[in-house]
Amino acid sequence: IKGNLKMDFNVKRLAADAGTLFSRAVQFTEEKFGQAEKTELDAHLDNLLTRAETTKHWTEKILKQTEVLLQPNPNVRIEEFLYEKLDKKVPTRMNNHELLGQSMIDSGNEFGPGTAYGNALIKCGETEKQIGGAERELIQSSAINFLTPFRNFLEGDFKTILKERKLLQNKRLDLDAAKTKLKKAKMADARALAEQDLKMTQSEFDRQAEITRLLLEGINSTHAHHLRCLNDFVEAQMTYYAQCYQYMVDLQKQLGNFPSAFSSNNNQSTASGTASISVPILPLSGPLPANTANASSGFTELQNFSGSRKARVLYDYDAAGSNELSLLADEVIMVSSVPGMDSDWLMGERGNQKGKVPITYLELLN
């Protein structure tokens, strides 16, 4: 008997739910064709709904563009998304700066850390790796303090708003269906039943409208929270770019310790090309190498008096013109001063070969 009663109750409930869905569908269709009146939401609630939709739209857009900024590779983004959904740890991989840095270090070791070019490559590679590490910190900080709160709003708070808004829409359809039913009621008993139904649906609609309104007013708190997240993101970027700037300044100072003929050689090569590009360069304040500084008095003496002396070549040097002499590290050549020659250069001789050589590549021998 209990089983039969329960089954009978379930059938009645199913029939009631089906009736409710049918009346909502009829009311919705008649509204679309202009055959039924529609209860409009009050202006304040309507504005709140519009504001919530706008917040959702721009939160999605900012979230997506930030993800693209932090990880430009779409394949990697998809992979990270899948790992996150599977609740698995994303495998650690080197980023682009770290890959470049490792290539520079490997090539520098191949060319020889004792050569000027090899040493410079290694230093550049180490700096690129530092920048790669700073980039990791930026991504991690941004993910925790910026991306996650934005994503939580879209997947949590806004989904709750959507759920309650849908309930409000259903309650509004029930209310308008009850109004229509009351208008069509002719008999006294039918009108009394319709009025009771209208009173109940009006109460449920008002209650759901209040719940939805309270949720939507929470958008103000969401904006305040997102503002704090935005400040955290800006601070993370500021830290990242400040670190990168400092790393590059330190690198430029280290490169400034190499002979100045590097830059003059490159400039001459550029000038001989078909086009030139102007690149702003930070001032180099690094001191000259110790051995060059110690030998400066000997070079001054050599330039002021005639005669020649032996000098050991410190770094490889490729001649930029026919009037210059190419050099190999650790070889010994004869150098002398020529009247009218620039103070940064001497005349070098190796057997029958003769040409200008930069003094910063040389160490005078006693």
Overall average pLDDT of the 313-334 stretch? 89
Backbone phi, then psi, for 321, in 5-degree steps? -160, 170
Average pLDDT value for residue range 139-143: 93
The owner of tokens 């190498």 is 289
Per the CB < 8 A criterion, the answer to whether 136 and 94 are in contact is: no
Quick one: 205 and 334 in the same domain?
Answer: no
Query: Can you tell me the distance from the alpha carbon of 359 to that of 257, in angstroms, rounded to the nearest whole number?
Result: 14
Average pLDDT, the chain: 81
Phi-psi region of 325 (alpha: psi -120 to 50; beta: other; left: phi over 0): beta
Predicted local confidence at residue 64, as pLDDT:
94
Mean pLDDT, residues 259-287 taken together: 43
pLDDT band at 318 (very low <50, low <70, confident <90, very high): confident
H-helix or E-strand spanning residue 363: strand 362-364
Torsion sign across C-alpha atoms 303, 307, 308, 309: negative
Whole domain around residue 134: which residue ranges? Answer: 39-257
Q: Judge whether residue 35 has pLDDT over 90.
A: no
Strands 362-364 and 308-313: antiparallel
Model-wide pTM > 0.85: no
179/326 same-domain check:
no
Q: Would you state the pLDDT for residue 157? A: 94
Are residues 322 and 200 part of one domain?
A: no
Q: Does 40 score more than 90 pLDDT?
A: no
pLDDT tens for each residue of 177-230 = 888 888 888 888 888 998 999 999 999 999 999 999 999 999 999 999 999 999
CATH number at residue 358: 2.30.30.40
| Structural domains of the chain, count | 2
CATH number (domain holding residue 152): 1.20.1270.60
Amino acid, single-letter form, for residue 325: L
pLDDT in tens, 347-357: 999 999 999 99
Cα separation, 365 vs 308, in Å, equals 11
Q: Are residues 245 and 317 in the same domain?
A: no
Backbone phi, psi, residue 95, to 5°:
-85, 180
Pick the residue with more confidence: 343 or 305? 343
Closest CA to 176 of 35, 351, 291: 35
Judge whether 217 lies within some domain: yes
Beta carbons within 10 angstroms of residue 25's beta carbon: 12
